[in-house]
């Protein structure tokens, strides 16, 4: 009999825990790394994650530890499930602990502030493992729904298709259907920019702008995502898939999305500080809107919705003023 696949999941938040559950349900032996020892203890003693996924019973073949070396030991896959802006520092500490040959798997949907790097680029920069040992999981995957074992499809991307296939096999369950991809750039940009568009749609919902506005923002949001992606070498068709349209639709329609909810609160008139205070989990778009805009400017790509979100979130622009500016941009053809 072959040995079970071992997976370390670095991060015991909502998605780290839910994806750890997927891997365990698919037959992997899973160890979660939890930053706080008391959370690791609670996971092991109650078989739940009371802080992030209360009420969800976790499988027996999943355990938690506060020791990153213990989590990483012998792992075939080392899954990174922490906020994007904390990746560089954490991975620098974990790199000496990584199992030889382990595949580093990013669950993160962000772009690094300052460097404007995608998460796979940060991973390569820090761990120096090469693109064939870096994979990305993305798509319409709201953690709460996956944790309830509700059906979802996803994309597992790696420049080496055989590695993507290994990860696909390690995470395929009756409720979680991963498709392979080799367009890592497109998959990562789809995930990072949809959080920014999710904020924009949330703001519009909070302002009561209606469903035509929502449909328009989703579609024009996807257009600017694809524009950036193509400039960076992505396949435009990736944005019509699960990592693009699929994730955008789930995020922009669900009250479970932290980015959408964050935007809705701003659109209803809460201040940024009030909105941050009621947001308990990571809403990546709040920081990544600035790094996505930075990336777009470095490559001369126009991203008006992203620019509008930055104006509202970081420059104190009132949403009504931002809306007026967005609607009064010069007329142009839909495709150019």
Ligand X SMILES: NC(=O)c1ccc[n+]([C@@H]2O[C@H](COP(=O)([O-])OP(=O)(O)OC[C@H]3O[C@@H](n4cnc5c(N)ncnc54)[C@H](O)[C@@H]3O)[C@@H](O)[C@H]2O)c1
Ligand Y SMILES: O=P(O)(O)OC[C@H](O)CO
Catalytic residues: 194
Q: Does residue 86 interact with ligand X by CB under 6 A?
A: yes
| CB of 52 or CB of 98, closer to ligand Y | 52
Q: Does residue 15 interact with ligand X by CB under 6 A?
A: yes
| CB of 14 or CB of 261, closer to ligand X | 14
Pairing between β-strand 152-157 and β-strand 134-138 as defined by DSSP bridges: antiparallel
What phi and psi, each to the nearest 5 degrees, are found at residue 207?
Answer: -85, -5
Beta-bridged to residue 105, according to DSSP, are 79, 135
**Pattern of binders to ligand X over 94-113, x per CB under 6 A?**
-------------xxxx---
Binding-site sequence positions for NADPH? 14-15, 35-36, 52, 109, 143, 258, 284
DSSP 140: S
- Using DSSP, state whether 111 is helix, strand or coil: strand
Task: Work out which of 17, 78, 90, 141 binds ligand Y, going by CB under 6 A.
Answer: 141
Q: Does residue 52 interact with ligand X by CB under 6 A?
A: yes
User: In degrees, to the nearest 5, what angle opens at C-alpha 85 toward C-alphas 161 and 104?
Assistant: 25
Burial (CB count within 10 angstroms: exposed 0-12, middle 13-18, buried 19+), residue 19: buried
Task: Work out which of 5, 207, 250, 322 binds ligand Y, going by CB under 6 A.
Answer: 250
How near is the Cβ of 223 to ligand X at its closest, in Å? Answer: 22
Q: Using the rule CB under 6 A, give the single segment among 42-50, 76-84, 161-169, 250-258 that binds ligand Y.
A: 250-258
Q: Which of 174, 173, 128, 136 is nearest to 155 (CA)?
A: 136
How near is the Cβ of 152 to ligand X at its closest, in Å? Answer: 10
| CB of 7 or CB of 107, closer to ligand X | 107
Copy the structure tokens of residue 263. Answer: 């935007």
Q: Does residue 84 interact with ligand Y by CB under 6 A?
A: no
**Pattern of binders to ligand X over 156-175, x per CB under 6 A?**
--------------------
The answer for 188, left when phi > 0, alpha when psi is -120 to 50, beta otherwise, is alpha
Copy the structure tokens of residue 258. Answer: 């932290």
CB-CB contact of 196 with 309 (8 Å): yes
Task: Work out which of 31, 84, 90, 259 binds ligand Y, going by CB under 6 A.
Answer: 259
Q: Does residue 84 interact with ligand X by CB under 6 A?
A: yes
Q: Does residue 14 interact with ligand X by CB under 6 A?
A: yes
Give CA separation, 334 vs 94, 199, 216, in Å: 46, 23, 12
Q: Using the rule CB under 6 A, give the single segment among 8-16, 125-133, 166-174, 264-272 that binds ligand X.
A: 8-16
Q: Which of 285, 264, 224 is nearest to 85 (CA)?
A: 285
| CB hemisphere CA count around 250 (13 angstroms) | 24
Write out the residues near ligand X by the rule CB under 6 A.
11-16, 35, 52, 81-84, 86, 90, 107-110, 141-143, 281-282, 284
Binding footprint of ligand Y on the chain (CB under 6 A): 109, 140-142, 195, 198, 247, 250-251, 257-260, 284
């Amino acid at each position: 009999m072959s040995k079970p696949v071992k997976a370390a999941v670095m991060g015991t938040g909502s998605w780290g825990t839910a994806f750890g559950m997927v891997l365990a349900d698919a037959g992997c032996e899973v160890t979660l790394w939890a930053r706080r020892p008391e959370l690791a203890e609670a996971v092991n003693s109650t078989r739940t994650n009371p802080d992030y996924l209360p009420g969800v019973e976790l499988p027996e073949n999943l355990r938690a530890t506060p020791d990153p070396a213990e989590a990483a030991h012998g792992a075939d896959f080392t899954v990174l499930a922490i906020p994007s802006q904390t990746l560089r520092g954490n991975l620098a500490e974990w790199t000496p602990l990584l199992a030889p040959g382990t595949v580093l798997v990013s669950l993160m949907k962000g772009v690094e502030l300052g460097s404007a790097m995608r998460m796979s680029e940060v991973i390569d920069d820090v761990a120096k493992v090469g693109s064939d040992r870096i994979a990305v999981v993305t798509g319409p995957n709201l953690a709460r729904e996956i944790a309830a074992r509700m059906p979802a499809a996803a994309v597992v991307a790696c420049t080496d298709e055989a590695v993507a296939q290994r990860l696909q096999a390690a995470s395929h369950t009756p409720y979680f259907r991963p498709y392979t991809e080799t367009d890592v750039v497109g998959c990562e940009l789809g995930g990072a920019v949809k959080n920014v568009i999710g904020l924009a749609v949330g703001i519009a919902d909070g302002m009561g702008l209606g469903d035509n506005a929502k449909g328009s923002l989703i579609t024009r949001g996807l257009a600017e995502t694809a524009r950036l992606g193509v400039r960076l070498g992505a396949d435009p068709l990736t944005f019509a898939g699960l990592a693009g349209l699929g994730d955008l639709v789930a995020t922009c329609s669900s009250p479970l999305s932290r980015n959408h909810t964050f935007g809705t609160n701003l659109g209803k008139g809460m201040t940024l500080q009030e909105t941050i205070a009621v947001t308990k989990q990571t809403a990546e778009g709040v920081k990544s809107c600035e790094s996505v805009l930075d990336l777009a400017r470095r490559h001369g790509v126009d991203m008006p919705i992203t620019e509008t979100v930055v104006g509202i979130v970081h420059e104190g622009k009132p949403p009504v003023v931002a809306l007026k500016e967005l609607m009064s941009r010069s007329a142009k053809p839909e495709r150019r």
